Amino acid sequence: MSRFRPKDERELTEIIAAAVAQEEPLELVAGGSKRGLGRPLQAPHVLDLGAFAGIQQYEPEELVLTAGAATPLAEIEAALDRAGQMLAFEPGDWRALLGASGSNPTLGGVLACNLAGPRRIRQGAARDHFLGFHAVSGRGEVFKAGGRVVKNVTGYDLSKLMAGSYGTLAALTEVTVKVLPRPEATRCVALRGLADDSAVRAMTEALNSSHEVGGAAHLPAPVAPESEALTLIRLEGPIPSVEARAAALRRELGQFGPIEILADEPALALWRAVRDVSPLAGLAERVVWRLSVAPSAAPDLAARLASGLDFRHFFDWGGGLLWLAVKGAEDGGAAAIRGALGTWGHATLIRAPDALRAAVPVFQPQSPALAALSARVKDGFDPKRILNRGRMYHEL
Amino acid sequence: MRMPTPDAAVIVRRAEIAADLRKILPGEGVIEAEDERRAYEMDGLTAYHESPLLAVLPSTTEEVSRVLRYCHDHGIKVVPRGAGTSLSGGALPLADGIILGLGKLNRILEIDYANRCAVVQPGVTNLGISLAVQHAGFYYAPDPSSQIACTIGGNVAENAGGVHCLKYGVTTNNVLGVEFVLIDGEVIRIGGKHLDAEGYDLLGVIVGSEGLLGVVTEVTVRLLQKPTTARALLMGFPSNESAGASVAAIIAAGIIPGGMEMMDKPAIHAAEDFVHVGYPLDVEALLIVELDGPPAEVDHLIARVEAIARANAAVSIRISNSEQERLNFWAGRKAAFPAVGRISPDYYCVDGTIPRRRLSNVLTRMRELAVKYDLRVANVFHAGDGNLHPLILYDANKEGELERAEALGADVLRYCVEVGGVLTGEHGVGVEKRDLMGTMFNDADLNQQMRLKCAFDPAGLLNPGKVFPQLHRCAELGRLHVHHGQTRFPDLPRF
């Protein structure tokens, strides 16, 4: 087992080329915060990309930032904060969830895993803000794609392909992202004591209104603060705007029960908790699933699962994201969850012991045609399966 | 512009291929007669035309699949086509290839307000989606200027934008799923009513793939609630620099307008002469800024934008106080292309994106190039996202003018790349910008893109001659070259 830490693109290329020649896979790491995500790896070597760090160009008025892929997220967020901007896709900090305290999440890691927080429903995921990159492919070749401007359709949108590829196609060295102004104010419309189905109906009503909802989550009683179900609807923007929209929603959602409006800091803290999956992070003995589903199908899905599984759960994305912390099932609940899900979405096993993540498909199994196409895509970037072999699917 | 040499052996089989395809598509789905084929000879890039081998018009996914399978098995090239509004020649036919027209797949299959999405066939027009949901207060956000005619299938192929995309995103940000057919006839579904499909984001590469990867037969799009209010400011500036500075200051102040459009003096005059809505004629640049959203927010931001513009030397500012007034502000901008078409026999619309801070350099260079090529240029500009649309005025009946217009456009795009921008912001590469790809990408970059193409279409039958200056064989692209015969890890410190 060797650990390589190339200091520049040339050394990185040489290491990957040698790994290709010897057909010895590499595990890609930078900050190390997401090593527990995906299927466990059995790579003989670690490729540490930590040297590809540092903000290279940041022009707030152009809404773009270019940085080394291994730049710590904290450094990026601090620079954006100073200019009143943010990564609008709101990537979560999953260190507590994944038991990776002491690690250091990077921008490249966030992009490679296509993270997205509660604002996903309004502003998109990492994929939607990933404008361009430089990388070394699993063929040991330097290449680039995309650009450094916010609007670009020149060539295939390979940034999308890199987002969510978990380092299985190329080692990112430099990335460019779109950034956006941070909202001036936040208000959170909170409803208490709702059952899952009423909560999703309330969130749907809010999301289908013209009030530009930028977050809609529901914490059932067992995982809510003060053990009372809490439904949260977030409004962001200039102060007069959030005040007016909160007042309007208070009227329009009155049928669902008494409504409280939380301003800035208490609201922000709640949304950080939702973003970081904090309600489930502490349930250490449970495995954690992330289900992306059609929002309207979510409450019924949770209800059907409850008949056979012991779990805690909460909803984000207006119901479209269902987090489950499952206890006691031999397969972690994989068969029950994927069986109940049908064609309504997909489930990913986010946290589980290595043995379980090796035994059950971590990512949703794909149709044979789609799996074959994905394997051919992998062939084009990494024919010898050098980069993070098997991280997503066995055959990739 | 050189297209792949037509295969005479395919062309002589036209009647036989038509007969075979009629077995798949009985009735009027296969167009063979020369005068009828000619209806498909060009798209929105009117400088180029070619009569296709056949035009084939399937009505179902099953028919698309069978036609593609036939073409795959017989080595026949396929050019997919929506409404044919591409400005980059994306649907330019090949003499030895069929046009696969998706216009008959034109049904809205489902509208699902609870999940804020609609499932539609590719031949539905962009505007058709918004019209179908407007009674419920919803719309489909991307709004390319051809939206009355262009189809969602074409929008997906080109990753179409519009004037509202800085705030609401382009096609790729507003599509949740697709059903598409590979060249071998395999039907694949990706995504659906949920967000972010599992596995590789193949949806993300299908969108914007210009018909080179597969044929989209169904699209699930996101629906948004229409903003309650929209108001606009119409502002004149003494220079392009001061207008550009205002745009930068608006964004630096944390404001993302629903639309932010700029016009230069020639464009202002052409538009005003055409629609007479009171654009100021004594200014060098005009900025239209539209704020949309809840009324409290719009009123608040209008005042802030006005203050920013005044601080940046705006010489005239009008603020819309009625819907009619807002529409009047837009009327000139929306009519900019036909307005230019009125003062010139022909015009050629260029599409590049630049970092906004380089706007004045680019406009200065454009003026120099216009002198060099002895042609006039009017500029409209999606100022919020840096997407430039220079309109080059020429007369196709004058010897050499088209060639000069194209050369001028290519020089403008090269300069866009030189200042840190890109060749195309929303119109696509197509045939138009194909041979300029090398100014932005080196061989390694293009080879990697072509390897993606190989995963979908190894024989290169889908829309050949577009996007890539030269399409290499997949076997050649797949070959691994071990660097310097290297088989050992380099001598680096190990940890």
Task: Parse chain A into domains and list their residue ranges.
Answer: 47-181, 185-275, 278-359
For the domain made up of A278-359, give the CATH fold: Alpha-Beta Plaits (3.30.70)
Contact B198 A116 (CB under 8 A): no
Query: Between the CA of residue B299 and those of A67, A241, B236, B292, B320, what are the distances in Å?
Result: 37, 9, 20, 9, 11
Judge whether A368 and A376 are in contact, CB under 8 Å.
no
Structure tokens at B21: 């395809």
Structure tokens at B182: 């590979």
Segment (H or E) for A178: strand A170-178
B 276-315 residues with CB < 8 A to A: 293-297, 299-301
Residues from chain A contacting residue B296 (CB–CB below 8 Å)? 240-241, 243-245
Positive or negative: CA dihedral B428, B430, B436, B441: positive
- What is the CA B121 to chain-centroid distance, rounded? 19
How many other C-beta atoms lie within 10 A of the C-beta of residue A187? 24
Confidence of residue A207 (pLDDT cuts 50, 70, 90): very high
Contact B225 A293 (CB under 8 A): no
One-letter amino acid of B382: H
Question: How confident is the model at residue B486, as a pLDDT?
Answer: 63
Judge whether A90 and A177 are in contact, CB under 8 Å.
no
Question: How confident is the model at residue A1, as a pLDDT?
Answer: 77
B234 DSSP β-pair partners: B288, B318
Contact A151 B387 (CB under 8 A): yes
What is the overall mean pLDDT for chain A?
Answer: 97
Q: Are strands A55-59 and A64-68 parallel, antiparallel or unpaired?
A: antiparallel
∠ CA(B317), CA(B318), CA(B323), 5° rounding? 155
For residue B200, give the chain A residue with the closest CA: A165
Q: DSSP per residue over B59-126, as a string?
A: -SHHHHHHHHHHHHHHT-EEEEESSS--SS-TT---TTEEEEE-TT---EEEEETTTTEEEE-TTSBH
Which stretches of chain B score pLDDT less than 50? none
- Name the 3-class secondary structure at B493: coil
How many other C-beta atoms lie within 10 A of the C-beta of residue B104? 16
- Name the 3-class secondary structure at B233: strand
The residue among B454, A311, A155, A294 whose CA lies nearest residue A302 is A311
CA of A168 to nearest chain B CA: how many angstroms apart?
A: 10
Structure tokens at B351: 């599409």
CA of A161 to nearest chain B CA: how many angstroms apart?
A: 5
pLDDT tens per residue, range B116-141: 999 999 999 999 999 999 999 999 99
A350 CB within 8 Å of a chain B CB: no
B258 CB within 8 Å of a chain A CB: no
Judge whether B350 and B388 are in contact, CB under 8 Å.
yes
Query: Between the CA of residue A110 and those of A31, A48, A83, A254, what are the distances in Å?
Result: 11, 16, 21, 38
Residues from chain B contacting residue A48 (CB–CB below 8 Å)? 495
CATH 3.40.1160.10 assigned to domain A47-181? The reply is no
Structure tokens at A151: 């609007």
CATH 3.30.70.2190 assigned to domain A185-275? The reply is yes
For residue A160, give the chain B residue with the closest CA: B204
Structure tokens at A323: 């987090």
Could you give the CA distance from residue A132 to residue A118 in angstroms, rounded to a whole number?
A: 24
Mutate to test the interface with A, among B176, B194, B437, B488 (most CBs of A within 10 A): B194
DSSP 8-class letter at A387:
B
Structure tokens at A152: 């670009």
A 69-88 residues with CB < 8 A to B: 84-85
Query: Between the CA of residue A32 and those of A41, A94, A333, A391, B332, what are the distances in Å?
Result: 14, 12, 27, 15, 54
For chain A, what is the radius of gyration of the CA atoms? 21
A393 pLDDT exceeds 90? yes
Question: How confident is the model at residue B27, as a pLDDT?
Answer: 84
Tokens 């984001």 -> residue: B201
Calculate the dihedral angle through the C-alpha atoms of B244, B250, B254, B260, rounding to the nearest 10 degrees.
-80
**ipTM here:** 0.97
B479 CB within 8 Å of a chain A CB: no
For residue A129, give the chain B residue with the closest CA: B173
A 181-210 residues with CB < 8 A to B: 181-182, 184, 204, 207-210
Query: Between the CA of residue A129 and those of A92, B216, B373, what are the distances in Å?
Result: 15, 24, 38
Structure tokens at B392: 């080059």
Contact A158 B170 (CB under 8 A): no
Instruction: Summarize the confidence of residues A162-178 as an average pLDDT.
Output: 98
Positive or negative: CA dihedral B452, B457, B463, B466: positive
pLDDT tens per residue, range A90-126: 999 999 999 999 999 999 999 999 999 999 999 999 9
The residue among B216, B213, B205, B255 whose CA lies nearest residue B233 is B255
The shortest CB-CB distance from A153 to any of B203, B356, B426 is to: B426
Residues from chain A contacting residue B188 (CB–CB below 8 Å)? 367, 369-370, 373
For chain B, what is the radius of gyration of the CA atoms? 24
One-letter amino acid of A320: G
B346 DSSP β-pair partners: B394
DSSP 8-class letter at B248:
H
Sketch out chain B's domains with CATH numbers.
8-101 (3.30.43.10), 108-225 (3.30.465.10), 229-337 (3.30.70.2190), 344-435 (3.30.70.2740)
The shortest CB-CB distance from A153 to any of B203, B424, B494 is to: B424
Could you give the CA distance from residue B99 to residue B475 in angstroms, rounded to a whole number?
A: 27
Query: Between the CA of residue B399 and those of B253, B375, B394, B402, B417, what are the distances in Å?
Result: 50, 13, 11, 8, 30
A278-359 has the same fold as A47-181? no
For residue A237, give the chain B residue with the closest CA: B297
Q: Are strands A321-327 and A310-316 parallel, antiparallel or unpaired?
A: antiparallel
B224 CB within 8 Å of a chain A CB: no
Structure tokens at A41: 């790896």
The residue among B329, B359, B389 whose CA lies nearest residue B239 is B359
Structure tokens at B426: 């929303």
Could you give the CA distance from residue B36 to residue B13 in angstroms, rounded to a whole number?
A: 18
Could you give the CA distance from residue A234 to residue A264 in angstroms, rounded to a whole number?
A: 10
pLDDT tens per residue, range A287-316: 999 999 999 999 999 999 999 999 999 999
Strand boundaries in A110-158, DSSP class E: 130-137, 142-146
Mutate to test the interface with B, among A156, A160, A180, A245 (most CBs of B within 10 A): A156
Contact A150 B478 (CB under 8 A): no
B475 CB within 8 Å of a chain A CB: no
Contact A370 B188 (CB under 8 A): yes
CA of B336 to nearest chain A CA: how many angstroms apart?
A: 21
Region of A153 on the Ramachandran plot (φ > 0 left; ψ -120 to 50 alpha; else beta): alpha
Contact B198 A348 (CB under 8 A): yes
